[in-house]
Amino acid sequence: MNKKLLVIGFVWPEPKSSAAGSRMLQLIEQFQNQGYDVTFASAANTSNNTFDLSRLNINTQAILLNDSSFDVFVKSLNPDVVLFDRFMSEEQYGWRVSEQCPNALRVLDTEDFHGLRKAREVALKQNVEVSITHLQNDITKREIASIYRSDISLMISEAEIDLLTTTFKIDKSLLYYLPFLLEPISETEKKQLPSFEARQHFITIGNFLHAPNYDAVLYLRQTIWPLIRKQLPKVELHIYGAYESQKVTQLNNIKDGFLIKGFAEDVNEVMQNAKVCLASLRYGAGLKGKLIDAMQNGTPSVMTSIAAESMFGDFNANGFIEDDPETFAEKAVLLFTNSEIWEQKQKNGFEALNQRFNRLDFEEGFSAHINSLRHNLKAHHEKNFIGQLLRHQTMQSTKYMSKWIEAKNR
């Protein structure tokens, strides 16, 4: 009989809208390769961009928040592994899984460290450096509690593992590095990409529901783009992203070449048409899907250090990393006008992608780690006393709040 994985989705996957959607499908594929039958459950609504999971032989189940019908569902499914999509899903359903399926391995996919993103956002608004005070915010507390209650947390960024183990003293045995898992780019694919001469304009892309992306577009509009445009008066910046709202649409300005294009049906096509990608993020966390898209399509980038965090390791960036807006604009112009530098940066991107995110380099180790945890779960639990503490009734405010909401709803 096949092993069973239950994924509890914070949202239904939308790989065309966000890197989180692509990441979730990569994780599911890892478990399917390990011989798991997969059920994906979520309390969220679907949208036009929701991926059809049945195409990958994944069962789907709509579930409710604060409702014991989930207990009946999870007990009858009896999964071997439960994967929580972000800490909010673990908060809501983790205690129910614990009660109904005590022997299931509980895996948290953090996506990125939300507490770090919050700290950076607050520090940016205050115009100060991020401090330990910023980091010790309520989201961090909730997220770290969730990490302790889980058996293993999947981390996409080495910088975040470093922060959690050094600043917050989390035991390394509770964290597992698993970045984006991609197909390597072949020489044939590289040759088929449009050349420097065949491309035009700048591009930036990102889901507008994600606040750091909107801030980055605003920063481009107000500060960086006027500097680029002064030197290259005819170029355009094409801005793509799902879920554009009125505040995004109104930034569109044809005269200034600042064009809001909205949802990109095919990210590869729009990325290959562009000469340079701009990633002007001033806060955020995790790995940036826009840079992966750029590297896969041979589009060099100019990015802030927050955008580039944990992306390149010991390899050279696929462009320039600059935080000063004037220098950012200068490097964007240089990359846009100098084919030799452009081609070198493109090569850097291919190398970083193939050396750091080749899915084949991670599959075996991840499979072995999951197996080892499943077979030594009791000993693993005993080592994680803080996790036991946080699952103790005195610490379970979310559980009792959920029960109270359910009783009230009756």
pLDDT of res. 402:
86
Whether 394 has a pLDDT exceeding 80, the answer reads no
pLDDT of res. 307:
98
Average pLDDT, the chain: 95
Asked which of 15-19, 165-169, 173-177, 238-242 is least confident by mean pLDDT, the reply is: 15-19
Assess contact for 28 and 56: CB atoms under 8 A: yes
Q: Give me the mean pLDDT over the 217-221 stretch.
A: 97
1: confidence class by pLDDT, cuts 50, 70, 90: confident
Instruction: Express each pLDDT in 121-173 by its tens digit.
Output: 999 999 999 999 999 999 999 999 999 999 999 999 999 999 999 999 999 99
16: confidence class by pLDDT, cuts 50, 70, 90: confident
Question: Which alpha helices (H) appear in 34-68, and where do they start and end?
Answer: none
Instruction: Express each pLDDT in 332-365 by its tens digit.
Output: 999 999 999 999 999 999 999 999 999 999 999 9
Q: Sheet harboring 3-9: ordered strands across?
A: 59-62, 36-42, 3-9, 81-85, 105-109, 152-155, 175-177
Assess contact for 123 and 129: CB atoms under 8 A: yes
Asked which of 14-18, 140-144, 250-254, 352-356 is least confident by mean pLDDT, the reply is: 14-18
Whether 391 has a pLDDT exceeding 90, the answer reads no
**pTM reported for the whole predicted model:** 0.93
pLDDT of res. 407:
87
Rounded alpha-carbon distances, angstroms, from residue 62 to 19, 29, 88, 309:
23, 21, 17, 36
216: confidence class by pLDDT, cuts 50, 70, 90: very high
